[in-house]
Amino acid sequence: MKKITSLMLSMALLSMLFGCGAAPSGQPASEAATEKEAVTTEAKDTQPEETSEAAAEPEERPETVKIRVAYHPNFGGNNLYITAEKNGFFEEEGLEVEPVKFTAGPQEVAAMVAGDVDIGYIGHGATFLAVQRQVNVFLTEFLGNGDEILTYQGSGITSLEDLKGKTIATAPGTSGETVLNLALEKAGLTSSEVNIVNMDAAGMVAAIVGKKVDACTLWPPQTTEVRKAMGEGEIVSLATIGDFRDQFAFPGHWVVTPKFMEENPDVMVRFSRAMLKAMDYRRDHPEETAGNVAEFIDAPIDGVTEEMNRIDLFDADYCYQVMTDGTAAKWYDALQNLYVKDGSVEKTVPVGEWFRPEFVKEAYESMEK
């Protein structure tokens, strides 16, 4: 009896085992296997899987580098910096930027040469210092139109020719001085036929408002300050930098010492990439950009907006184009000839020695456009 029972149990177990893997009645074994695979696949599909992003190694951020960056307290002199800072573009590039304020290019360049500043903005007026090989231009961001020669009603000056024998305030080594030199030449005057006094921007505002000088060379937002203080109808604009655009372009740009550039090529590319991103953001958000600048330099928004509207701002595409197709190089070659003419430099040098677009080129071409 025990043997029969054992045999029956064994047969039952075998039947169960084979039954688990057998095809249902009327279904071929191959179809059953296919169905089983489909069910298995479906079950797998319902299980959570690691996405490719999760499986991928996290992107490594570059090592953080601290740099000191010079800016000027006007729209042209800091809008690209503050846009990059506000939107985290420096942080994305692993750059921790300490801003340092300057009101004129020559003093700023002196600080850079001394090692107190790493990278800085200058206007075209101080670009003769690049021709002198103190700094290199590596990023061109706009063309200026805002500089003016201003006088007032009752000064006896109604034309450039009337400047003869008059006292004119200007800031040496600035774009204002460049405009003055061009205006005097246009009027057939030499610097010895006028009385030129050197002042900073704030001093010129006070001097012209107080009528202590006959004329001055200024740029926004200081030109707005003068008009507000004296009244629009009281001011006479004798010339603007835009009057000479057919002869010269007047770029605003970023410079660096040859030493810093050679020792930190990776930082140069990262900084350039952050600024190119800022150019496109500035193009798409002009009102926000003006507001950020006004807040940063504690200036009235109308003056900042006026300056913004009087300069030709580049986006990343145009910056890359002019810096790599020879256009900007021609601008700078014309400028250095002007500097020779006005005595700022003794002779011209090959533009390629001080105009260095390779960092912008690499930065732009690495961006996903």
Domain map of the chain by residue range?
A: 65-143+249-366, 148-244
Amino acid 369: pLDDT: 58
The 10 Å Cβ neighbour count of residue 340 is 15
pLDDT in tens, the chain (369 residues): 433 344 343 444 334 333 433 333 333 333 333 443 443 444 344 444 444 444 444 456 778 999 999 999 999 999 999 999 999 999 999 999 999 999 889 999 999 999 999 999 998 889 999 999 999 999 999 998 888 999 999 999 999 999 999 999 999 877 788 899 999 999 999 999 999 999 998 999 999 999 999 999 998 778 888 999 999 999 999 999 888 888 889 999 999 999 999 999 999 999 999 999 999 999 999 999 999 999 999 999 988 998 899 889 999 999 999 999 999 999 999 999 989 988 889 999 999 999 999 999 999 999 975
Q: How many C-beta atoms surround the C-beta of residue 209 within 10 A?
A: 16
What whole-number distance in Å separates Cα of residue 321 and Cα of residue 95? 26
> Do the domains at 65-143+249-366 and 148-244 have one common CATH topology?
yes
Contact partners, residue 261, CB within 8 Å, separation at least 6: 136, 138, 268, 356, 359
With beta carbons less than 8 A apart as the criterion, state whether 288 and 252 touch. no
Residues 244 and 182 sit within 8 Å (Cβ to Cβ): yes
Q: Give the pLDDT of residue 353.
A: 97
Predicted TM-score (pTM) above 0.75: no
Identify the helix (H) or strand (E) that includes residue 279: helix 265-284
Rounded Cα distance, 344 and 127, in Å: 10
Q: Give the CATH class of 148-244.
A: alpha beta
**DSSP labels, 193-226:** GSEEEE--HHHHHHHHHTT-SSEEEE-TTHHHHH
Which residue pairs from 295-301 have beta carbons closer than 8 angstroms and sit at least 24 positions apart in sequence? 296/78, 296/82, 297/73, 297/74, 297/78, 299/73, 299/74, 299/221, 300/221, 300/224
Could you identify the residue written with the tokens 């001055």?
216
Structure token pair of residue 157:
């000056």
Sequence-ordered strand ranges (E) for the chain:
65-71, 95-101, 119-122, 136-144, 148-152, 167-170, 195-198, 215-218, 235-240, 251-256, 311-313
- Beta-bridge partner residues of 311: 144
CATH homologous superfamily of 65-143+249-366 equals Periplasmic binding protein-like II (3.40.190.10)
Per-residue CA distances from 56 to 44, 53, 60, 152 (Å): 21, 5, 12, 68
pLDDT attached to residue 59:
57
Q: Identify the pLDDT of residue 55.
A: 41
171 three-state secondary structure: coil
Tokens (6 digits) for 93: 């590039």
Both tokens of residue 19?
A: 């039954």
